[in-house]
Structure 1
């Protein structure tokens, strides 16, 4: 409890940020459909978000070096609230794509700063506890944010104003915090050669999971609206998909620690492909069954990311977890840009269920590549594996700072990072 109390203000700021983000992310496709936006333009919202988010992970550390953590966080949280209000004032698809990119940039930077403070307060003994608490709070906040849409009409101005207020409230805990300014932020670095050498299946699978998760996360609400679901049903459907995806990671992680993770990944992908194909070909279910199937689908696709990261970590050299997770983050983000565009184009040309044809194609490709890789490399013994750590791969993407909180991060890596920061900040003679 002393650990929780010491970081309560930071966790509150993060919860408010994710609460507004959950509402923001689900509100836009629902309102966009009401305004007559095409599926293709709504798919661009997802691509714009991913592009802005990746840019934030790369660029915000440089901004923080110039003006500091608190000022940067204040600017980013304020801009996120402003972009949400501008979505209400500027009801045009092209404008919304630009604004969504800006909100992705702001969200990535603000999340990195909160996580940087948490990293500063964490010790090697408490990092795992803080990581678990942080993950649970963010999951709950994102779910509540999505469920807020059940309380009113998204066609008015209420939820846009409410979301902007919550973004502003997220400023207060950080602005009033008496914690020392944390170390400089970590930048994501992509070493594709190293990642491919360690685990080709991780590189391919994380990209394909990005396509699948990006398509569903952006256009799941569009699919629900196109088949006649009410807004409240869509909010419940998308929230259940997120919750089940988080819960099911526990048994999947337990099994993957004891079996070949590639077999576990193939099994989960087969389930996702089966459920998605069912939704694509036989989409005339009643509301309750549709929600149940989509929730089960979310449970499968949102549990793949941590299995892939764990598999890559199994084959990485000791002390390379930060490089591995940071590189996979950027590859995952690239997939989340492509998925919404491909799915939106196919949905526009055919029918709403085509969303799940795109996800099924991604999962089938993953299955075939994983099966081939199993013939090329033997599985590791159980005692050679790293521990599985649940990670929520939706609501927002992880940031490079998230990896520092991960209990799999080696103490030597943290010390090497600190040495690098000292060299970067030391004035030249």
Structure 2
């Protein structure tokens, strides 16, 4: 029994290393960039670069894996990610960091997809939900640990860059040693914007706005915290507390969205997020305790919206299109993530640190208004016709393979049959 579980544990360990390094790298760059005097626009462009690379990785990795195989592709992704971290240390300049961050996003997406494909292959129908839940919790813990390790030293030195590179290399070992069987080809998703809009306009628009909001905060939260005078330890907490709060909020939010119209729940959650935006924007809070409370409210709302949106889209999706719809929405989220950090960086440069939340507030207002409009033009889905709500990892570290991993056996079979039918129709 232990021997049969060892490869699964090794893959989870590899994923934990990957997320630990990603969490550390994602937070050290804005903190170090702020210390080096980079403008908010330059720091925002780091998030834009990451999102561009991440979307490209989600789209191109399946073809790369089909050409060279899972193990070689995973090794290349981890090695390039480690090189990208070290390049950021050797060449401290926005002109270098922005394209290097795009490379990091590409490699991170590709490596995550490959690990998820292995886990998906090894999880049978009876254990799929449990394995996915463990995977989600491992990734949450690893991301948080990667961010919190910054409290142990000085961000202006070389240590944390080297540690992140080392941990990316460590992620190679479990798959190289234990992943002996080659899984099926990776999940490939095309970006069909027109089809996603026809399926659910509110899901399409909402996930775009959430991408703008969440990526803006995820990229520039550390810069905001540093500029209002928080210490390095408090900056790390400010970045980590929203993630933990968002994960905890998914359980009650999921229960509510299964019982009531998901659009109403989405409006309520977005209104609470807007409240957090306005308190940040107008409240003038600078003491660490108050800021952490507001960060928890912000994270509990903004990070709970994405799984509601995916569930609502799948309520309206045709049978056998679960992965296509979920993966497509993730790519639309990526488009929002490309725009958001740049807009927020421009706002912070022109109007000050708190204007980060003017950008997130604008996104949440647009979401609320559009959702209220759709509530008047389309009837709610009957409770019996709803798909099951599924808690999800952060969208910024999810991939199309995550959707395949999260799907239950019936959904996977329906998607497989739908793909076969579509292929026969083309022939």
What is the TM-score of this pair, normalised by structure 1?
0.95
CA offsets 1:111-142 (integer angstroms, 9 cap, x no match): 01001111111222222111111111000100
Equivalences for residues 53-92 of structure 1 within 5 A: 53-92=54-93
Offset at 1:418? 8.3
The farther-off stretch of 280-289 and 9-18 is 280-289
CA distance in 2, matches of 1:375, 1:46: 36
Aligned twin of 1:311: 312
Show the counterpart of 1:426: none
Q: Distance in 1 between matches of 2:418 and 2:95?
A: 41
> Residue in 1 aligned with 2:47?
46
Query: Quick one: distance in 2 between partners of 1:344 and 1:5?
Result: 45
Q: Would you say the 8 A contact 1:39–1:348 is kept in 2?
A: yes
Structure 2 CA distance for aligned equivalents of residues 37 and 127 of structure 1: 45
Matches within 5 A, 1:122-137: 122-137=123-138
Looking at structure 2, the residues matched to 108 and 377 of structure 1 have their Cα atoms a distance apart, in angstroms, of 36
Deviations, residues 139-172 of structure 1 (Å, cap 9, x unaligned): 0100000000011101001101111110110000
Does structure 1 conserve the Cα–Cα contact (< 8 Å) formed by 2:319 and 2:415? Answer: no
Structure 1 residue runs without a partner (length 5+): 424-429
User: What is the aligned-residue RMSD (CA, Å)?
Assistant: 1.8
Q: Which residue of 2 aligns with 1:115?
A: 116
> How far apart, in 2, do the equivalents of 1:189 and 1:85 lie?
33
Distance in 2, matches of 1:193 and 1:284, equals 43
| Structure-1 separation of matches of 2:53 and 2:384 | 40
Compared CA separation, residues 115 and 417, structure 1 to 2 (3 A): farther
Distance 1:335 1:198, change over 3 A: same
Looking at structure 1, the residues matched to 207 and 322 of structure 2 have their Cα atoms a distance apart, in angstroms, of: 16
Q: Contact (CA 8 Å) 2:276, 2:294: kept in 1 or not?
A: yes
CA 1:307–1:4 in structure 2 vs 1: closer, same or farther (change >3 Å)? Answer: farther
Q: If the length of structure 2 is used for normalisation, what is the TM-score?
A: 0.95
> For 1:115, what is the secondary structure of its paired residue?
helix
Q: Number of residues paired by the alignment?
A: 422
Contact 1:237 1:292 (C-alpha < 8 Å) held by counterparts:
no
Q: Aligned partners of 2:209, 2:247: CA distance in 1, in Å?
A: 19
Q: CA separation in 2, counterparts of 1:160 and 1:118?
A: 29
Give the corresponding residue for 2:399. 399
Between stretches 25-34 and 6-15, larger displacement belongs to: 6-15
Say whether the 8 Å CA contact 1:191–1:323 is kept in structure 2: no
User: After superposition, what is the alpha-carbon deviation per residue over 1:305-336, rounded to whole angstroms, capped at 9, x for unaligned?
Assistant: 00000000111111110110111011000000
Q: Tell me how far 1:403 sits from its aligned partner.
A: 0.9
Corresponding position of 2:30: 29
Listed as ranges, the gaps of 5+ residues in structure 2 are none
Post-superposition CA distance 1:273-322 (Å, at most 9, x none): 01111101122342210121112111110000000000001111111101
